[in-house]
Chain A
């Protein structure tokens, strides 16, 4: 039971968060590939993936040398900062305070920017294109690596967390190859809302463990924490919507 109470949420959090990050990276890679050619786009992508792999291989084993309570506390604080940031943003997007993440708009903006930057010629390597995909893959990939390590390493759930991230990668790459367009129909805010709740729940749980604060129900309290974060978030949405003028056009745009 204890294994599943951690493995299920670790897999789910890792899968959903990675799905969001891979979709964002795919939008940039598609924009670069379409405008500047697939060779530099893929070189940047593979170079970014290689750097991330090396970083994991280099820093991954050092995590095992850190005392478990220190690791729980450090990872818990980072997860809380990361998860509550996502949750805050998802709540504000749900009520139309900030705009929804629009993959098609980002794709259009990125292609226009790349077209303005001009052609590097047929024989020279297009370093602008390489750098653009490299940066996108490294930055989005770092978030995936952090989520996998944070949800997996502390509770010895690295395998389900990694499977979750890898599954998300396969799904996004497959869909990208299939439709060759940004995955604009992915309900990104709903995913970010869910991931924000899961990561915040993991974060507060690990901080409590790191500080030796006993959780009622022990590992099962993770589900209670997720439910409580969901309740408080929905309550916040309700309160904000009640305070908004009824004619506000943006207030109808939430996806949560």
Chain B
């Protein structure tokens, strides 16, 4: 049973190491999916905005992690 739990934990760990970053990524994708289509200005900005948000999340996360140390 312990070995199965270990394996499941390791599988989860493949995708999630810092919970706040993982949650922020998923929340931003949800915003892009549900909010972007209702915003004005055409569709050309939406994909670059998706990237920009993710890049900022990464940037903020590593700076915050560095400050914690």
Contact = CB atoms under 8 A, between A and B. Distances in A.
Interface of A: 77-78, 80-82, 84-85, 87-89, 91-92, 95, 97, 131, 135, 138-139, 142-143, 146, 200, 204, 207-208, 211, 213-216, 221, 225, 228-229, 232-233, 235-236, 239-240, 243-244
A77 B10 CA distance: 18
A195 B29 CA distance: 22
B15 A81 contact: yes
Interface of B: 3, 7, 10-11, 14-18, 21-22, 25-26, 29, 32-33, 36, 43-44, 46-48, 50-51, 54-55, 58-59, 61-63, 65-67, 69
Residue from B7, B14, B29, B51 whose CB has the most chain A CB atoms within 10 Å: B51
22 contacts: A80-B29, A81-B22, A84-B21, A84-B25, A84-B58, A85-B21, A88-B58, A89-B17, A92-B65, A92-B66, A97-B65, A138-B7, A143-B14, A207-B29, A208-B51, A211-B29, A211-B33, A213-B36, A213-B46, A229-B55, A236-B63, A243-B66
A243 B18 CA distance: 22
B14 A142 contact: yes
Contacts of A89: 17
B21 A88 contact: yes
Contacts of A84: 21, 25, 54, 58
Residue from B21, B32, B48, B61 whose CB has the most chain A CB atoms within 10 Å: B48
A219 to B, nearest CB: 13
A146 B48 CA distance: 26
By secondary structure, the A interface counts as: helix
Contact of B47 (A91, A92, A214): A214
A204 B50 contact: yes
A213 B43 contact: yes
Contact of B58 (A135, A138, A214, A236): A236
A80 B66 contact: no
Contacts of A214: 43-44, 46-47
B54 A88 contact: no
A250 B13 CA distance: 25
A95 to B, nearest CB: 7
Contact of B44 (A88, A211, A216): A216
Contacts of B18: 85, 88
A97 B55 CA distance: 20
Nearest to B18: A88
Nearest to A243: B66
B3 to A, nearest CB: 8
A83 B65 CA distance: 17
A61 B31 CA distance: 32
A235 B21 contact: no
B66 to A, nearest CB: 4
B7 A139 contact: yes
B17 A88 contact: yes
B15 A215 contact: no
A105 B69 CA distance: 23
Contacts of B48: 216
